[in-house]
Amino acid sequence: MPKLIAPLHSVTSEDRGAVVVVVAYSLLGISLCFSAARFIIAYRQRQEFRGDDVSHLTALVFSIGQSITADRASNAGLGRHITQLSQEGITSYFKAVYALSLIAIVAMYFAKLSVVLLFERLWVPSLHSKSIKNLAFGTTIWFLFSFLAHSFQCGLPHPWMFDPKTCSVGGGINYPIIITNALTDAVLALWIIQPIRKSNIHPRNRTIVILLFATRLLVTASAVAQLAFVTSAIHSSDQTWSNTIHSILLTVTTHLSVVTSTIPRIHSFLADIQAGHVISHITDQELAYTGPDNQTNKINKSAPKRRKGPWSWFSKESSTQEHSNFMPKYVQRRVIIARPERVGAKDSFMGNASRD
């Protein structure tokens, strides 16, 4: 018989560490699949590699580290009773869980930032730059507060040794960290509603956009679930056992944050079969060379009509009318239609956009 490979972790009634390992690597596989789809689609559509892609890639790297650290924490004693561990094992456990939380905070921050930068890519030109900057500022404040508060809540020289009796506010700093994490993701999920309401986009497509970004509410739900278990995790005398579910939910929250940051980008793949024209945003000086307004209307009328689908506004080659409806009317005058061979266009998130 062939030699069997030993499991990563054994399952017993006194050891729940295997659950941590399974969840960590399963979610890692899902995150890798979504991220791979994102960049494959971007390559196929020749989309420019921009800040939201860099932030997402950074979040993915840290989420990989978070899953690996969860495995290490399981090997160090997470999921077992603390009485089964040696003093050296207990120290290794606290170090691993300490690193697990910090890496998760970094991964979630860059996932949030990826969504914020995605908003900038979405609006061309950016009509909500101040609001988007406020979102970026808010997520950065959350990151700095969460990272520094968690790093030094138990003080030096051993900040990883968690003891509610000696740590600041008895470990209660975890509550504002989790709550603000849930709130920032809720804001990112619902921010899209206001600019969508002011656009002329078809109500059906408006709903699609809102639902795509609303998937981020899954992160909020997972963070709220953490609150239900954080009390037992920080106040139990058997922390290695009681912290199991909380650590699993932390891993779930981290990977959901990474996955939902890329769902709107993957959606464009569904529109690959759509046909249309290139949208070109031109400056006022360039607009003078296009002639009077009725010249633009002639171009619009000369363009062959295409069948519109529910995804057409979001596609690489989408309907120009849907794109222009996404913008306020005073911006629509700066949008013209041209055949692809007449415009050397560079792809954008909303379609192929370029300047002459």
Q: pLDDT tens-digit profile of 137-164? A: 999 999 999 999 888 888 777 888 887 7
Cβ contact 257:55 at 8 Å: no
Q: Which residue, of 235, 250, 271, is where some domain finishes?
A: 271
Instruction: Give me the pLDDT at residue 268, please.
Output: 55
Q: pLDDT averaged over the chain?
A: 75
Looking at per-residue confidence, does 48 or 293 come out higher?
A: 48
Contact indicator for 117, 50 with CB cutoff of 8 Å = yes
Domains in the chain, number: 2
Q: How confident is the model at residue 3 (pLDDT cuts 50, 70, 90)?
A: low
135, 282: one domain: no
Task: Give the pLDDT confidence score for residue 47 in this predicted structure.
Answer: 78
Structural domain contains residue 10? no
Query: Is the pLDDT at 59 greater than 90, yes or no?
Result: yes
Instruction: Based on the fold, state whether residues 165 and 294 are members of the same structural domain.
Output: no
Q: Do residue 138 and residue 186 come from a single domain?
A: yes
Handedness of CA 116, 121, 127, 133 (dihedral sign): positive
Pairing state between β 278-281 and 351-354: parallel
Of the three residues 249, 271, 293, the one that is the final residue of a domain is 271
User: Average pLDDT of 87-93?
Assistant: 89
**pLDDT winner (highest mean) among 108-122, 142-156, 245-259, 296-310:** 245-259
What is residue 265's predicted lDDT score, i.e. its pLDDT? Answer: 82
pLDDT beyond 70 at 269: no
Tell me the DSSP string of 45-74: TTB---HHHHHHHHHHHHHHHHHHHHHHHH
Q: Does residue 338 lie in a domain region?
A: yes
- Give the domain-ending residue among 271, 293, 314: 271
pLDDT at 70: 93
User: Minimum mean pLDDT among 31-45, 258-272, 299-313: which range?
Assistant: 299-313
> Is residue 3 assigned to a domain?
no
Is 1 within the bounds of a domain? no
pLDDT higher than threshold 80 for residue 337: no
Residue 312 falls inside a structural domain? yes
Residue 304 makes CB contacts below 8 A (sequence gap 6+) with: none
Question: What sign has the CA pseudo-torsion 148, 154, 158, 160?
Answer: negative
* pLDDT tens sequence across 287-310: 344 444 444 444 444 444 444 433
Distance CA 226, CA 119 (A): 28
Q: Does 73 map to a domain?
A: yes
Range of the domain at 310: 278-354
Q: Does residue 185 share a domain with residue 66? A: yes
Tens digits of residue pLDDT in 160-189: 888 777 777 777 888 999 999 999 999 999
Predicted confidence at residue 221, as pLDDT, reads: 95
